[in-house]
Amino acid sequence: MTLPVIYICLYLLTVVLFFVKQNWVDKYKKLLIKAHAILLLILLLDIFVVNIKGVWLDRLFVIAFLLTASMTFALYRRTLRTWQKIYFGFFLFYPIVAAATFLVDRIMFILVASPLLVTLTVPQTKFSSKDYEVREIVGALAPVQLTLVKKGLVTEHYLGIINAEEVNYGDITGLNILSETQDTTFAIVTAADKNYKVAFHK
């Protein structure tokens, strides 16, 4: 819950700044927009090219990406171009709309807020060794899943996922990789003193 709390507190600060009537120095606007663009590039590389190692750093990048956008709109909406107002304004008003749907309908809230909820949810590490890590991923609508990750020096590689129901686990105490193909990794997972032969699919 630490990450969502940090984001909510900083986001509320941007909402407060939205109502502060003051002419902010334009050079900070340029810095915010440049920082936002750089963070967008980093996130695109993280999603489509390489995966940054660990579960915290990429989510901190996401929070910084969201906040630089909402902060830009809150401080400089009067001097932004029309397309910039639409783009940066989305990041300020989307969380408000998502929160408002919670008062209307719970299912609607899950549908609307799921991108934000998934982004701010940090996967729980169920097992970690020198070369591999098994993480538990909880989606807003999807069942609980386990994902297998192969560690690198500064990056990591996702080998696949399974539904958590396939492993009746308490604490995962062992992982033995049997074989790897292009789409599937076969392994034996040890949990609750039992061995489970599973296949992690991409």
Q: For residue range 59-100, what is the model confidence (pLDDT) as tens digits?
A: 999 999 999 999 999 999 989 999 999 999 999 999 999 989
Dist. CA 94–CA 117, nearest whole Å: 12
Same domain, 87 and 144: no
Same domain, 30 and 115: yes
The verdict on 22 and 96 lying in the same domain is yes
Whole-prediction pTM = 0.86
From 186, 187, 183, 185, select the one nearest 202 (Cα to Cα): 183
Q: How far apart are CA 40 and CA 62, in angstroms?
A: 9
Look at residue 110 in the predicted model and tell me its pLDDT: 82
Check the CA dihedral 111-116-120-124 and report its sign.
positive
Q: Which of 68, 96, 120 is the last residue of a domain?
A: 120
- For residues 109 and 145, state if they share a domain: no
The more confidently predicted of residues 23 and 105 is 105
**Of 64, 91, 120, which marks where a domain is finished?**
120
* pLDDT at res. 84: 96
Please say whether the beta carbons of 10 and 63 come within 8 A: yes
**Domain hosting residue 107, numbered range:** 2-120
- Give tens-digit pLDDT for 107-166: 888 888 888 888 888 888 889 999 999 998 876 666 778 899 999 888 999 999 998 676
Would you tell me how many other CB atoms lie within 10 Å of the CB of residue 64? 17
* Average pLDDT of the segment spanning 49-62: 89
Distance from C-alpha of 194 to C-alpha of 166, rounded to nearest angstrom = 12
State the pLDDT at residue 144: 79
